[in-house]
Chains A and B, each alone.
Chain A
């Protein structure tokens, strides 16, 4: 079974005095070779990297010291997201109230709902171009958090968003809400 017949018919003639030796079969059993072949195939299939890394484009605005050149956003169409440590997200709509009454906490799972709600509200009451998301990462958040939130912008097709440095008041508020006001 499973051989390759390589025995040649009729070899050369032996001399008259030479005893004819029993002809050995030259059949090779190929089964182990096939086994080995498939083993290697499986190895290469598993080690092949199927997914190539993708790249996310990010265009930065040029820093301007002149406040007149900075883009203004309409107050009621703004949603500010604050990224805290331990994957916490905080947000407020419009301008932060002095008593921080509109400062709400959320998580990366729930933030999508917040963004979509705000977006549909802005589309209903204003123009879509008035919808601006301001992202303020605090020092405690990770690179993954930032990429996740930028990804959230493309998932929810937010056309205008900006990454802004967190202000001291907000940083303190985030730290207090997270329970480590000493920071």
Chain B
């Protein structure tokens, strides 16, 4: 007796649903990805156990690159305009305020600033610049920069960030914090990449107990 012939099942799979899922995920990742903004100044940051996420708004960022050169960047264009005007009135440099507003970072002495702003935006390279002079006490322009910043942000909220390179030497760092201190910026934050707390240490024990860290 012959068996009843089973109807042959098709091995076709409808890919449409899978395709839908794939593209849904794709659009999710595209929309959530925030590309790292092209770093004007290349800095390899050290790691720390600090858990607080670095602020992204109202920042005044001072970067120290691996050679100890100091750069300043400000995200708020309105404040940059105030600073540009302040520099123009006090230093008679005739800076191009629009170019100053668009500049992502500053890393030259005041005398070279008009020349730097004349360079087209895309061609501005941090390593071609000498950095803001901060070394000697006689011609410490970092202090002046911080004074302009302080005047521009008077009474407004700002986050002072310091981003130093791993191999930058301590004197460069010290010069910058001295410039901060001179202008009464006594609170600042250092940008670091997060690492986990080593097991067995006091901080780790506190975290296990659920104690919150004193970050202030």
Contacts and interface: CB of A to CB of B under 8 A. Distances in A.
Interface of A: 1-4, 29-31, 33-34, 37-38, 40-41, 44-45, 47-49, 51-63, 83, 112, 116, 119, 137-148, 150-151, 154-157, 165
8 contacts: A34-B22, A52-B53, A54-B194, A59-B187, A147-B192, A148-B48, A155-B197, A157-B203
Contact of B169 (A29, A63, A139, A147): A139
B9 interface: no
Given A4-B15, A157-B202, A51 B193 contact: yes
Contacts of A38: 22
B171 A55 contact: no
Nearest to A156: B202
B29 A139 contact: no
Given A37-B23, A56-B50, A56-B190, A140 B169 contact: yes
B189 A56 contact: yes
A60 B161 contact: no
B22 to A, nearest CB: 3
B203 A155 contact: yes
A37 B101 CA distance: 40
Contacts of B13: 1-2
Given A41-B25, A44-B33, A55 B52 contact: yes
A157 B211 CA distance: 12
Nearest to A157: B202
Contacts of A144: 46, 164, 166-167
A41 B29 contact: yes
B51 interface: yes
Contacts of B216: 57
* SS class, residues of chain B in contact with chain A: mixed
Interface string B16-27: 101100110110
A148 B174 CA distance: 16
Shortest 5 CB-CB contacts between residues of A and residues of B: A37-B22, A44-B29, A55-B189, A30-B15, A143-B164
Given A41-B26, A61-B186, 12 more contacts: A29-B15, A41-B25, A48-B32, A54-B192, A54-B193, A55-B189, A58-B189, A60-B181, A137-B174, A142-B167, A143-B166, A151-B50
Size class of B's contact patch?
A: 35 or more
Contacts of B11: 1
Nearest to A85: B169
Contact of A2 (B12, B30, B215): B12
Contacts of B193: 51, 53-54
Interface in B171-216: 171-174, 177, 180-181, 184, 186-194, 197-198, 201-204, 206, 213, 215-216
B188 to A, nearest CB: 6
A54 B54 contact: yes
B33 A143 contact: no
Nearest to B51: A54
A48 B29 contact: yes
Interface in B60-79: 64
A48 B33 CA distance: 5
